[in-house]
Structure 1
Amino acid sequence: MTYKSFRIGLQPEWLLQQKTSAISLSEVLSLLAAIDATGNITGACKACNLSYRHAWGTLRRFEALFGVPLLLTRRRQGTALTPFASRLLWANRRIEARLMPTLESLASELQEELERLLPRNDQPLRLHASHGFAVEALMQHMEGRSPGMELRYRTASEALASLERHECDLAGFQIPLGRFEPDILAHYLDWIRPKQHCLIHLAVRNAGLFVEAGNPKKIRGIADLARNDVRFVNRQIGSSTRRLTGLMLAEQGIGEHQVQGYDTNEFTHMAIAAHIASGMADVGIGVETAARRFGLDFIPLVKERYFFALDRRNLDNPSMQALLQIMQSREYRSYIGQLAGYDSSLTGDVQQFEDTFPGTNA
């Protein structure tokens, strides 16, 4: 007997607090996003499945609540957001980019707790990994398929430590190609056992600098992070991107104290992009896909290989073979290959650690 399939989801929500009630901003934020995308109210109504009258009523209501207009109507030029509405929308995008991975991880934990109380014939795979577009896509492709996947968003170090403690079946980590690879790999070898663990190749992706569209500060490389007129936004302590940033700065002879904003942290590549797109920083480091989705310019620095580490003894388990079948499918590889800056030519390949990283067979 198996349980009836369901999926738990959590979403952030804005509430406008009043004396005796709280008003949700979800509808007006969706409407503003649609107006921003389509350039007119008619297109926004269609995208949001709202009547023209209802949409205008919603806009007028929140204009009264905020005390400022939300739209600029220009003859023959469509409709644009006012600076206040634009800032509201960007704040929402930044919040979603920052919170969604945490909420997705919490939802997965809640799902796991509930499923323990239901009869089932198989156990889902447990994946611990940092937030990434290929990981996000894998969860979507696994949805509704046996044995399922439980995801915890963790830094690469945390994920590999969980694998060593047998708290997960797969641990995601990324390694830059080239001169920074030995330093990053040496750190990961605190938890990886080359004779015990093998690898599943997920993707190769471009990592680099995010800058505002048009690059108004004329930022060209890592050395520009030390400029007095450049504001940087960093990844959180313990993340692979932050460790890589430190290595690149050291190579240039730049101390962390010389970088304005080095201690300003975001938890995902999308949150870094949203931070810059909203004007709160001039530059950050992340994967190309996030920069493109927020309309930012991207300056490539390195290519990273993203892997899942797992115990070799689990490779032949039916659940792991089912995962490999999905990862090696034309559908999944094609989806990953269409992400900006991603290469999926080796997606789903099983590799021995000592073959991928020669000299680490101890």
Structure 2
Amino acid sequence: MKGEDRIRALQQVDLFSSFSVADLRSFAFSIDEVHCQAGEILLCEGAAGEDFFVLLQGRLVVSKGKRILSEIVPVDYVGEMAIIEAKPRSATVKAAEQSLLLRVPTPLFKGCLVNNPQALLSIMKILSHRLRLDNEMISREFEQITILVHDMKNLLSLFLFLDNFPVEKGSNQEKYVRYMKMARNHIAALVEQALANVKNLVVPEGFVCNSLPVLINEMCESDFITHPDLQDKRIQVKLADDLPDFCFARLQLRLVLLNLLINAAQASDRGALIELSAQVSDNRVVIKVEDHGHGITEDVAGRIFDAHFTTKVTGNGLGLLSCKQIVEKKHGGTISFVSKPDIGTIFTVSLPLSGAGPAVPLHQTAQVN
């Protein structure tokens, strides 16, 4: 592209709106062109941010994990936060089709600002506008999620018929109806928690003195035999005889154990052994979930607790993040793991026996009974 064409292209970009023609001329001849083929990654999430780019031809797709955030068409720019701070890229940018861009080194752009300080105010306004648009998009998405959760709560009322469903006492039918009622109440509690979060209310988390063996026995009779990922595995439970009752949120800890067991099952072959154990050590309850599956490679190990990071085709990368938040933020415990490829993985959850849970809640949850 000729220098004059570059100048005309840059004049269409709001970041350069306060630059004089002379400044743009000097600037335009100091930057490089970048050609991207369809599917080629221009910016990678987590990589160092040093330059930003002006798109002249083609189309770019901005994504974070599996989620597409936006598309960029000419004449626009991407990676501009490198102007403000030297932080890793917050998203991945890929060429959706053959594209032509101008690479703008941040030091060069900042050097131009020295001779044109008025441009700083313009840039602040531009970035502020972009942040406002981002906030509006987040607000719209949050509203849609809230509506979805609200509608889910209404649909749960359909399962109230289970309370009066005629079953023969002691039959398998009675057992499975009990499991369905329990699952209904668990979902209702989670939906109520989600709605309370929208209103910045605190819902009681159920932090009372509970029995871990009773919880695990309940899971043995329900989750272990009904969840499709656990049905074809051999789950061996080893609980120390001296496990005391202690304060924990029963539903939340159940979700942690279920997430860890499902992950172990998905990393294991059919019929594989998974071990679930618990014991007391140094005034803490130590729970371990051990599998003999595929293990976790070094390049993945540092990211498994990151939001939306997953190695599964149908995964969403939220299970282990949920476990970490429940264990560490809500129970004051720790969660860790050791793994060897092709040998297996051990996840360890350590919970304080003296934990009392969060402060007294401000909002009483409504249950579907």
TM-score normalised by structure 2 residue count: 0.22
Q: Which has the higher contact order (CA 8 A, sep 6+)?
A: 1
Q: Which has the larger radius of gyration?
A: 2
